[in-house]
Amino acid sequence: MSPRNNAVCKCFASFTCGNAFCSIIPHATGRTAYYTAPIKALVSEKFFDMVDILGRENVGMITGDSTINTEAPVIYCTAEILANQALREGPASKVGCVVMDEFHFYADPDRGWAWQVSLLTLTGAQFLLMSATLGDVSDIAAMLQERTGRPVDLVTDAPRPVPLSYDYTLETLEATVELGLRAGEAPLYIVHFSQDEALKNARSLASYGVSEKDQREAIKQAMKGTKFTTPFGKILQRLLAAGVGVHHAGMRRATGFWWSAWPSRGSCPSSAAPTPWAWASTCPSTP
């Protein structure tokens, strides 16, 4: 998809192509590319991903907590940061493209204004609107095209890296996990609505027993030389030894990535993380 001068390209994408979009546009147009998300922890995670790709000199981040390299050609920020900039600068803004992740927040009664303001104000920018939870978006696309007079392209047939399936059960969490392990579905990733709930169930699973002896031994060997010095680090160390990982946005990034690599190696059968809907303070890892 090539950039079009003085045009807005809006796509509803169900896959994480935002990094590629942010990489190409600044070089093609000489204008700044923005990635926005509703959660500061998600912005930070994607920022570090892009630093690994483009180098630290080419990527910046602006949130309520951090301001890094604000003159970079690619900026990662929360949706409200870009909306306030759009209100200050208007159509003359140097924003060349915007990747709006979690676009379903557009309809949020309290925060949706931030997504709406950028779309209505930055008339010279291209937009990539991404959401994995929206269904039929034809009405939204028609509305955007009518209000902006710009073409709208839909990307709706991209396969998910991990297919979704649905099942309803009245079994306890422990019983459901045990059935999943017996069915060979490990590693299991369990999403929660709060950090406290995630930690409570992680401890319960560790006591219940979800790992085999050889798996616990593999984790023990991998943990050698790793220092768990903080109070939460001590808790994490005990959980990992039992084959259970736990992650939330309040953890150190290095610690979170340390354990999140283990499910892919088959040594950590179960992980617990809070859902992004506790978005004020949490964000899940994606092993």
Question: Please, are residues 156 and 14 in contact by the beta-carbon 8 Å criterion?
Answer: yes
Strand bridging mode 67-68 / 270-274: unpaired
Q: How far apart are CA 177 and CA 189, in angstroms?
A: 10
Structure tokens at 114: 């931030």
Name the residue among 122, 268, 237, 246 with its Cα closest to residue 192.
Answer: 246
* Alpha helices (H) along 149-212: 173-182, 195-208
Q: How far apart are CA 277 and CA 191, in angstroms?
A: 10
- Residue-level pLDDT, tens digit, the chain, 287 residues: 334 443 444 455 443 445 555 555 554 457 899 999 998 878 888 898 889 888 999 999 998 888 999 999 999 999 999 999 999 998 889 898 899 988 888 888 999 999 999 988 998 888 888 887 777 888 888 888 887 777 888 887 767 666 667 788 898 888 888 888 888 877 777 777 677 888 888 888 888 877 778 878 887 888 788 788 888 788 888 888 888 877 655 454 444 444 444 444 444 555 554 433 222 223 333 32
Cα 100 from chain centroid (whole Å): 12
Structure tokens at 119: 């779309």
At 11, give phi and psi (nearest 5°).
-125, 140
284 to 61, 191, 195: CA distances (angstroms): 20, 8, 10
